[in-house]
Amino acid sequence: MNLCEPSSTEDFGDAVLARLPDILNLTHERARQATYDFLVNQRSARTKEHYLRIVMQFLAWAEARELKSLAELTTADIKNYVEGLIRRKGSGFARVSAQSRAQVISCLRGYFNDLVLKGALAFNPVTSVKNPKTKANEGAFPPLPDNQVVRLLDGIGEATLQDVQDRAVIGLMVFACARVSAVTKLKQTDVWEELGRIHVRLEEKGGKPHQLPLNREAERYLRAFLAKSSEGSAGCDPNPEGWLFRRWNKRRRVLTSLPLDRLVCYRMVRRRAKSLGIVHRKMGNHTFRATGITMFINAGGVLEDARRLANHSSTNTTRLYDHNRHGVKECDVDRIDYRRNKRASAPKED
């Protein structure tokens, strides 16, 4: 791709071009183009944004060290950079997690590899940098208790068009164990009825299609939303792109032609939970995926079936979402009783 060629990511490409620093021109005449290609050609919009932030922060650090070229960087320099990464935490700063440092290393390894392949650098200094150990025993988002799921869904109701959309979105995440990005990408053509049952076609990570019938309760929520947002319904702008779920315009009190995104959903979920007095340690979109998988296994579902439901590549990933086996129960800690023998040998009163 040439820098002046149009692309489907034109807006993102313009943002990249506006932020490319001078150190790339000093490195090699091909470095600027290679950087642009690496960032623009990432598969998903989320990865593009994430990699843009990582690469730009790294290049700003390199310029701050007054390097004449990226070719001056050594493996030790990259290690020191990654180990020194910090993030804002409250009023101070803290070292970034091992998982975040592993993501930075992965991004920079791919970036420098592209620079080498395009002839902008002679070698990749990140190749020998080892990823920190990041073994996870459980997912980052604990599930909601059953009673709180019921409280949330029943508390939303169906008084307004926004209510039925919010309930349908949460219903898909919690009953279909769907990622929020897959739910927000849904179009009207991805929903159909077959033998009296609604089916959906989700686009999961890497563009993998995932077709499944809906749970009866989720189906009821989706039918209520479809009935209230049908073509020509009041409170709906034209929808030329055919998005299933759309952003809400508070001022005009209508569903616009813009699709939902994960941040809008995150704010909606937090707002709904707060309004109903639901307190959760890490309330977010992914909470519902963990909740659905945990509930599925609680109800007697086997791990392999849970893997297919969640569309995971491996059951090792699915295990992270199964919180049945994580945590310490009250009955477990009560087993440690140093006075048991003393109480058993004590004489009984008449």
Distance CA 149, CA 170 (A): 10
Residue holding tokens 């007095």? Answer: 277
Q: pLDDT digits over 62-83, tens only?
A: 999 888 899 999 999 999 999 8
Q: What is the pLDDT of residues 37-58, one digit of tens each?
A: 999 888 778 888 899 999 999 9
Fold of 146-325: hpI Integrase; Chain A (1.10.443)
Is 138 exposed, middle or buried, given 0-12, 13-18 or 19+ CB atoms closer than 10 A?
middle
Its pTM stands at 0.68
Q: Determine how β-strand 86-89 pairs with β-strand 191-194.
A: unpaired
> What is the reported pLDDT for 168?
95
**Whole-number Å distance between alpha carbons of 298 and 303:** 11
The span from the CA of 256 to the CA of 252, in Å, is: 9
Q: In the chain, where are the structural domains located?
A: 10-117, 146-325
Query: Quick one: pLDDT at residue 331?
Result: 62
